[in-house]
Amino acid sequence: MPSVSAMTHCFPIRVYYEDTDMGGIVYYANYLKYIERARSDWVREMGIDQNRMRDAEGVVFAVRRVEADYLAPARFDDMLEVRTRTLAVTGARLVMEQQVLRGEDLLFAATVTIVCIAETGQPARLPANIRLILH
C-alpha cells in the first residue's frame, strides 16, 4: 500500500452561482476556498481529528504561504476536482501541491505551505503522529 504522501486525494466540487462574478466566472478568491475544503477533507480521511489535535496537543494547522497560478476560468455549474498531494514533510512544515481541474483541463495550481501554531500563536512542531502518517 502506498504511503499517504505518495497518494493524491481527489475532492469534487460544483461551481455555484454565488461562486461567480458578473461574467459567470469563478471569482479568484474562491479557488482558495476550494483548496481549503479539499485539504480539510484530506486531513479528515487520514484520520486526523483537528479538534482533538487542538484540545490534546494545543496546536492547529495554519497556512504559511500560498503560491498560486490561475490558468483558465471555471464557470457557473462546472464540475471541478481538487487534487491534493504532499510534496514535503519536515518537523515544522508540510508542503503540498493542489490543483483544480475541469475534466483533464488544469484551471488553477497552488503550492501551499502549512505549519502548526500553538494557542499563543507561536510556531510549533508538527505532532509526531501526523509526521508518521505523512511519511
Q: Rounded to 5 degrees, what angle do the CA atoms 26, 37, 103 make?
A: 55
Q: Which of 21, 49, 69, 77 is catalytic?
A: 21
Indicate the DSSP class of residue 20: B
Pair 71, 109: CB distance under 8 Å: yes
Q: For 4-134, CATH number?
A: 3.10.129.10
Contacts of 121 (CB under 8 A, 6+ apart): none
41 given a catalytic annotation: no
Pair 45, 15: CB distance under 8 Å: no
Its pTM stands at 0.89
Q: Domain locations in the chain?
A: 4-134
Sign of CA dihedral 116, 36, 96, 42: positive
**pLDDT tens sequence across 33-83:** 999 999 999 999 988 888 888 888 888 999 999 999 999 999 999 999 999
Write b or e for each residue in 3-29: b if 16 or more Cβ atoms lie within 10 A of its Cβ, otherwise e.
Answer: ebeeeebebebebeeebbeeeeebeee
**pLDDT tens sequence across 84-125:** 999 999 888 999 999 999 999 999 999 999 999 998 889 898
